[in-house]
């Protein structure tokens, strides 16, 4: 049986490099095309990305060419910035190829996207709807699909934390769900920016995009869909940690009825019993970013504060793995009918 031919467009960004790291160890496929937008001529991938210098089994890195991409690939990952990625993803998909887009371009309706991203949406009325690739929550909807919109990193951690509540009557219907989210600097991408310089970020910690982070409507859209509450809102605050990778989400949810930790733990265990990648921690154990670095995993902890009638939820992921490349490969596995864990790590690399 011929192995599927896989391409990565945006192969030099942080998510693209992580994709190639995972795909190069995947036993069921062949990487046949690597491309970058800002490249004038072809060169060996190990010359461009030194971590691969001694790995000679990859094709050359090329300037992106649509016809060559279509000729060499059966499935293509797009890991380009929002505003560019979605347009190319749709072109490749319209040509009959399977596509996974890691940008935000295909996650939201046209009007919502343009309002929150400040960019023109690539979607038209004729475009095929991309399936939202939250693979640990809706594996069946992703299986055998041809166009997947990979979730955002903050959205992944927040939704895996909150979605099991949508199937209960524990939360006050008119309440705003508070989501406090902290990320390492790779979540901002590879483009040089003054606030990401070592001198600026080291020994520093601060909020950014307060009240206007583009993952807000993405999280709300999925929560509203699952809860059947069209007015459900979150208050998302994003903050930048002085570390390269990793996300910690802390959510604060007002409860309308009491529940024991044991019963709540059972709800979450049942929600994720079909995936090996989400771990619900025992009572009194709290998640740590270093436990998930390099792994396609999410660790979730729960605390019911009976004094304040608040539920506290804590979750950690690696923003480049579960928050980007790892989840994208998990989606690919589901699209191609393979076990979702194929080629992916359950073990973090810490310390």
Which residues are the active-site residues? 153
Tokens 């319209």 locate to: 94
Cα(11)–Cα(78) distance, rounded to whole angstroms? 9
- Tokens in use for 143? 């299986």
- If DSSP codes are grouped into helix, strand and coil, which group holds residue 29? coil
Half-sphere CA count of 131, side-chain side, radius 13 A: 24
Question: Hey, what are 183's tokens?
Answer: 């990320």
Residue 117 CA to residue 110 CA, distance in Å, equals 10
Cα angle 223-78-21, degrees, rounded to a multiple of 5: 100
Q: Which of 67, 137, 126, 134 is nearest to 100 (CA)?
A: 134
Sheet of 298-305, strand order: 206-208, 233-240, 176-183, 247-254, 310-317, 298-305, 278-280
């Amino acid at each position: 049986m011929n192995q599927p031919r896989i391409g990565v467009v945006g192969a030099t960004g942080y998510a693209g490099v992580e994709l190639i790291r995972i795909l190069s160890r995947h036993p069921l496929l062949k990487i046949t095309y690597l491309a970058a937008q800002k490249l004038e001529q072809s060169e060996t991938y190990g010359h461009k990305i030194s971590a691969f210098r001694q790995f000679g089994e990859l094709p050359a890195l090329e300037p992106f060419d649509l016809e060559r991409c279509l000729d060499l690939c059966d499935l293509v990952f797009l890991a380009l910035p929002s505003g560019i990625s979605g347009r190319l993803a749709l072109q490749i998909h319209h040509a009959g190829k399977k596509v996974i887009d890691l940008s935000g371009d295909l996650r939201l309706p046209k009007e919502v996207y343009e309002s929150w991203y400040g960019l023109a949406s690539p979607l038209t009325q004729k475009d095929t709807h991309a399936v939202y690739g939250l693979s640990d929550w809706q594996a069946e909807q992703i299986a055998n699909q041809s166009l997947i919109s990979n979730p955002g990193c903050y959205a992944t951690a927040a939704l895996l934390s909150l979605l099991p509540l949508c199937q209960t009557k524990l939360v006050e219907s008119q309440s705003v769900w508070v989501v406090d989210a902290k990320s390492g600097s790779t979540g901002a991408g590879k483009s040089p920016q003054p606030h990401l310089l070592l001198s600026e970020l080291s020994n520093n910690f601060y909020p950014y995009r307060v009240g206007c982070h583009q993952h807000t409507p993405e999280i709300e859209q999925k929560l509203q869909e699952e809860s059947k509450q069209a007015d459900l809102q979150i208050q998302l605050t994003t903050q930048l940690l002085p570390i390269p990778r990793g996300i910690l989400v802390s959510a604060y949810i007002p409860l309308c009825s009491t529940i024991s930790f044991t019963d709540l733990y059972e709800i979450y265990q049942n929600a994720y019993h079909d995936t090996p990648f989400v771990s619900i921690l025992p009572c009194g154990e709290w998640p740590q970013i270093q436990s998930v670095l390099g792994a396609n995993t999410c660790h979730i902890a729960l605390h019911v504060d009976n004094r304040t009638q608040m539920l506290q939820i804590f979750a950690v992921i690696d923003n480049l793995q579960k928050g980007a490349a790892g989840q994208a490969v998990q989606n690919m596995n589901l699209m191609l009918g393979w076990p979702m864990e194929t080629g992916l790590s359950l073990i973090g690399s810490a310390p």
